[in-house]
């Protein structure tokens, strides 16, 4: 399938059947921690990327093929920013007509200042936007947004969406060592959380290869500090347990490509997910994918990850200012913490 994948294990949503309405990597943020690499170039324009009926047809087929009880949520999650698809509202509405399963949307939240985006997401049972910073300066340093996706628009959009939305609003906070895990940064975030009034704040750590090699997850002290400052609304989200459903893939090559396009994975994780094939087949398939340019190995966090070939992960010495075709930081903003 081209647009629908899984079910895959999700940290918050159990076994999640994913729907990807945007091409990789289509985003208006260039987050330092993104598992899909850098965004080149940034885009802020909403439009239709794929035939929406084709996406709906794949969803209907996946739901019909899935054994009872194997899907916990239907989740719209883009290879970039989900709400950049102008078809999203129609797709959510039609998906709710097809199934009684709860439906979630994972988004950075940057377009919620637009009334039409708020209307699109109103049909969802849960919306999971991001809030990683409490000031415009840290937001630009960490999320590196398109110039039109300002911090003020992000916060006001979240506040306005909460006022009209009746589903579950779960804010996501990616906690990074030395970036947003100190007391000052966390209290600034907490001030905005009080205005937004989410049902929960999910504290996440980067467990897959971050776009920038210097990114590290917060340590236990930073996590405990975040929980203490954010209060009862906060909960730490641990890595997901579960299995990748590859029933719709006819060959091991297709199965691997389907996974790593959206979820860069360690080789041991791939071998576990592909247990129905012999180890020799998996090794040969990985070799073929790498030789043909359909996959590549990325070194991050002390591990090697298999990733989609188009994903851009610069090396440790390459700055944002010198990377070819990269989005440049604003004057006076460092590409990495000093």
pLDDT at residue 248 in the model: 55
pLDDT at residue 210 in the model: 93
Q: What are phi and psi of 47, to 5 degrees?
A: -165, 175
Q: Which of 141, 131, 139, 110 is nearest to 330 (CA)?
A: 141
Start-to-end CA distance of the chain, whole Å, equals 44
Task: State how beta strands 265-266 and 303-307 pair.
Answer: antiparallel
pLDDT at residue 223 in the model: 97
Identify the structural domains of the chain with CATH numbers, from first to last.
Answer: 4-236 (3.20.20.70)
pLDDT at residue 304 in the model: 81
Contact 33, 133 (CB under 8 A): no
Cα gap 113→85, rounded to integer Å: 15
Residues of the chain with pLDDT under 50: 319-338
pLDDT at residue 249 in the model: 59
Q: What is the 3-state secondary structure (H, E, C) of the chain?
A: CCCEEEEEEECCCEEEEEECCCCCCECCCCCCCCCCEECCCCCCCCECCCCHHHHHHHHHHHHHHCCCCCCCEEEEECCECHHHECCHHHHHHHHHHHCCCCEEEECCCCCCCCHHHHHHHCCCCEEECECCCCCHHHHHHHCCCCCCCCHHHHHHHHHHHHHHCCCEEEEEEECECCCCCCHHHHHHHHHHHHHHCCCEEEEECCCCCCCCCCCCECCHHHHHHHHHHHHHHEEECCCCCCCCCCCCCCCHHHHHHHHHCCCCEEHHHHHHHCCCCCHHHHHHHHHHHHHCCCCEEEEECCEEEEECCCCECCCCCCCCCCCCCCCCCCCCCCCCCC
Q: Say which residues have a Cβ less than 8 Å from residue 47's Cβ, sequence separation at least 6.
A: 84, 85, 86
pTM value? 0.84
Contact 259, 245 (CB under 8 A): no
Residue 241: burial class (beta carbons within 10 Å; 0-12, 13-18, 19+): exposed
Q: Say which residues have a Cβ less than 8 Å from residue 281's Cβ, sequence separation at least 6.
A: 252
Cα gap 231→180, rounded to integer Å: 16
Tokens 């628009």 belong to residue:
153
Beta bridge partners of 260: none
Q: Which two tokens stand for residue 271?
A: 């071998």
Beta bridge partners of 170: 200
């Amino acid at each position: 399938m081209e647009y629908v994948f899984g079910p895959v294990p999700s940290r918050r949503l159990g076994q999640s059947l994913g729907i990807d309405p945007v091409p990789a990597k289509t985003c208006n943020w260039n987050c330092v921690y993104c598992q899909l690499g850098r965004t080149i170039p940034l885009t802020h324009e909403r439009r239709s990327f794929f035939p929406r009926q084709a996406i709906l047809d794949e969803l209907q087929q996946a739901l019909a093929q899935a054994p009872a009880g194997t899907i916990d949520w239907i989740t719209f999650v883009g290879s970039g920013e989900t709400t950049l698809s102008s078809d999203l509202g129609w797709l959510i509405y039609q998906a709710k007509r097809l199934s009684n399963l709860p439906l979630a949307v994972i988004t950075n939240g940057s377009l919620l200042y637009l009334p039409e985006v708020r209307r699109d997401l109103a049909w969802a049972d849960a919306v999971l936007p991001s809030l990683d910073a409490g000031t415009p300066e840290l937001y630009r340093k960490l999320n590196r947004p398109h110039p039109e996706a300002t911090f003020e628009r992000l916060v006001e959009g979240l506040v306005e969406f909460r006022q009209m939305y009746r589903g579950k609003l779960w804010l996501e906070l990616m906690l990074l060592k030395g970036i947003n895990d100190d007391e000052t940064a966390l209290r600034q975030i907490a001030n905005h959380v009080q205005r937004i009034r989410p049902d929960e704040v999910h504290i996440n750590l980067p467990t897959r290869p971050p776009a920038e090699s210097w990114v590290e997850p917060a340590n236990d002290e930073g996590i405990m500090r975040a929980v203490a400052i954010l209060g009862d609304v906060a909960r730490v989200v641990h890595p997901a347990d579960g299995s990748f459903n590859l029933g719709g893939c006819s060959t091991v090559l297709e199965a691997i490509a389907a996974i790593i396009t959206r979820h860069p994975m360690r080789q041991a994780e791939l071998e576990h997910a592909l247990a129905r094939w012999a180890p020799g087949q998996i090794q040969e398939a990985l070799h073929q994918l790498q030789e043909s340019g359909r996959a590549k190995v990325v070194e991050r966090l002390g591990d090697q990850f298999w990733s989609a070939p188009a994903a851009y992960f610069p090396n440790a010495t390459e700055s944002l200012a010198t990377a070819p075709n990269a989005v440049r930081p604003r004057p006076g903003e460092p590409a990495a913490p000093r």
